[in-house]
Amino acid sequence: MNSFLIVLFLVLGLCVTYLAIGFGLGVVLNKSGMGAVDSSFKGLFQFALKWPKLFIKIGLVVMLLAGTAHAYTVTLQWDAVTDLDLAGYKMYYANANVQPFTGTGATQGASGTITIPKGTQTGSLAGLDPAKPYYFAITAYNTSGVESVYSNIVTIPIIPPIANLKAVVTQNTIILSWNAMAGITEYQVHDAKANGIIQRVAAPALTATITGVPGGRAFYVTGTGPALFAVASTIINIPSAVTNMKATVIIP
């Protein structure tokens, strides 16, 4: 009996809370003071049922950044919300699929603090760690500060790096090679010092030949495919050649 009463009180408490939120939200939306309870429920259901129609998708995975952690940037795109009082959107992320998302570490800020203005349906998060999985969601919020529920969740798993980058140096060329990765259709060779792609290699090829002065340069490799991308390999440094060597002959 005691357990039953506890459950009953909890249910009643939730019902009262739900009615209070519905009534308060309806008053704010209709700006009518002590508006009708029916009007309050109408406002509540509009936000609860309409805004979840946000549809989020991975629109573009942007450049992988060379460095020790090989942080990367992800850009999300979603369908516009057409509510007249829409103010904008908020970006959420986390390393586990547990709501609310409370992720940190992105260059743009912590989860839930990143806002996108009305009229824009894309947003980026930089500084993400490829050694961790990520979960992303978007919400919409209106001019009264009321926020929708999460959109559908988009997941990016742990991303493996291109492995075993090696270099063979000759007098005028550098031959780079690396291990294959399933799902990759193109590899990109980057000049780590110039911060740009210098060569694209179509899979299944796993080598790149670079001509010119071989010394004092550094390279890394990334990869892309129809449904994934690979984090940059480790950076390989090519030492500068010894110059101005001279010999002194000693005659006994």
130 and 200 belong to one structural domain:
no
Report the percent of the chain where pLDDT is more than 70.
69
182 and 154 belong to one structural domain:
no
151 and 64 belong to one structural domain:
yes
pLDDT in tens, 57-77: 544 343 343 333 457 788 899
Assessment of whether the complete model's pTM goes beyond 0.85: no
Domain's final residue, options 94, 125, 159: 159
69 and 152 belong to one structural domain:
yes
Domain that holds residue 212: 166-238
pLDDT in tens, 88-112: 999 999 999 999 999 999 999 999 9
Q: Is residue 214 part of a domain?
A: yes
Q: Is residue 244 part of a domain?
A: no
pLDDT in tens, 221-231: 888 877 666 66
Q: Is residue 243 part of a domain?
A: no
The average pLDDT across 142-157 equals 93
Q: Is the pLDDT of residue 5 over 70?
A: no
Q: Is residue 252 part of a domain?
A: no
69 and 91 belong to one structural domain:
yes
65 and 155 belong to one structural domain:
yes
58 and 44 belong to one structural domain:
no
Domain's final residue, options 135, 159, 183: 159
The average pLDDT across 25-47 equals 41
Q: Is residue 174 part of a domain?
A: yes
Domains of the chain: total:
3
Query: Which of 51-60, 136-145, 163-172, 202-211 bottoms out in mean pLDDT, i.e. has the lowest?
Result: 51-60
Q: pLDDT grade, residue 241 (50/70/90)?
A: confident
pLDDT of residue 70: 58
Report the chain's mean pLDDT, rounded to a whole number.
Answer: 76
42 and 109 belong to one structural domain:
no
pLDDT of residue 30: 45
pLDDT in tens, 197-222: 889 999 999 999 988 766 788 888 88
184 and 125 belong to one structural domain:
no
75 and 38 belong to one structural domain:
no
Q: What CATH number does residue 226 fall under?
A: 2.60.40.10
Domain's final residue, options 136, 159, 182: 159
141 and 181 belong to one structural domain:
no
Q: Cα Rg for the chain, rounded, in angstroms?
A: 28
